[in-house]
Amino acid sequence: MTDQAFLVVGADSLVGGGLVAALHRRGHTTYASTRRRDTLNNKRVYLDFESDEPFRAPEGVNYAFLVAAATNYDRCEKDPLARVINVELIPRVVASLLQQGLFVTFISTNSVFGGDRPWPHEDDLHAPGIAYARQKSEGEDAVRAHAERLGAKDRLNIVRLTKIMGPETSPLPAWFAAWKRGEPVEPFTDLVFAPISVQFVGEALATIGEKRIPGNLHLSAAANVNYVEFASALARRLGVDPTLIRPSTAVDKGVNIPFKPRFSGLGMARTTSLGGIQPQRLEQLIDDLIAAQGD
């Protein structure tokens, strides 16, 4: 479809950046929302969830991706405003965009499933543990309720993501720097994730937007890996000496990790069948990280 114009709410986020790049690459008219007033222009519009100003989507936009959120785990635990943003203010913006006739994607997270079940299906029940996950789960319920009330369920999807990695995502800058100095890194064996690249998530969301698929969707890696397996794959690809990886554990290092799932990967059966999108393999993530590092 060439007559679609997209709005990315939260374009300065990690996910938003990848999505804007993918939409541009595909030649779509793309607007971005930001809170950074000094960066506004004819394609970057102002939106702060905490402001009372009603938000109108730019003329001609018929699809919005609601990417922005209060994402910091610690803030979600301690700052009552984070819950208000995630559970009330963001769903209110979704409702307004649906009322304006747009199709809306609400971005959510694998953490709503709690991490005790492998490969949850798109329509499985939630079991959130930490405050951030509870807020995203309640946010999902709120946007679904708004869509139901407005008779707009066929113009809403909820896309849950696993962990997104870009070259600047911790701990990568520290690992790259250590390996450059010939020093070892100490990744954790007791921390499991299902990492996907910024490029993969951007392209997959753009495909979902072009196809306007309603309902629940998942974007995930094809395998759960621990940080030693991830570091080893990265080192192999970069030609880094494997002895520069010294396996460790978060427990031994006394590092408190708030979200420590047994299983991080999401089942993508519905997403693959309706969207033709396959889970990302670890080698593809590594290729994307190396390509982005050179950008």
Ligand X SMILES: NC(=O)c1ccc[n+]([C@@H]2O[C@H](COP(=O)([O-])OP(=O)(O)OC[C@H]3O[C@@H](n4cnc5c(N)ncnc54)[C@H](OP(=O)(O)O)[C@@H]3O)[C@@H](O)[C@H]2O)c1
| DSSP conformational letter for 223 | S
Which CB sits closer to ligand X, 9 or 185?
A: 9
Smallest gap from residue 110 Cβ to ligand X (A): 6
By Cβ distance, which residue is nearest to ligand X?
Answer: 13
Which CB sits closer to ligand X, 136 or 146?
A: 136
Beta partners for residue 192, in sequence order: 226
Using alpha carbons, select from 29, 215, 194 the residue that is nearest to residue 119: 194
Site residues (vs ligand X, CB under 6 A): 10, 12-15, 35-36, 47-50, 67-71, 85, 107, 109, 136, 161, 163-164
Smallest gap from residue 130 Cβ to ligand X (A): 12
Cis peptide before 171 (omega within 30 of 0): yes
Smallest gap from residue 266 Cβ to ligand X (A): 10
Phi-psi region of 4 (alpha: psi -120 to 50; beta: other; left: phi over 0): beta
Which CB sits closer to ligand X, 45 or 240?
A: 45
Smallest gap from residue 115 Cβ to ligand X (A): 13
Which CB sits closer to ligand X, 28 or 136?
A: 136
Which CB sits closer to ligand X, 70 or 240?
A: 70
The percent of the chain in helix, strand and coil, each rounded to the nearest 5, is 45, 15, 40
**Residues near 74 by beta carbon (within 8 Å), at least 6 away in sequence:** 258
Dist CA 198 CA 21 (whole Å) = 10
Smallest gap from residue 228 Cβ to ligand X (A): 20
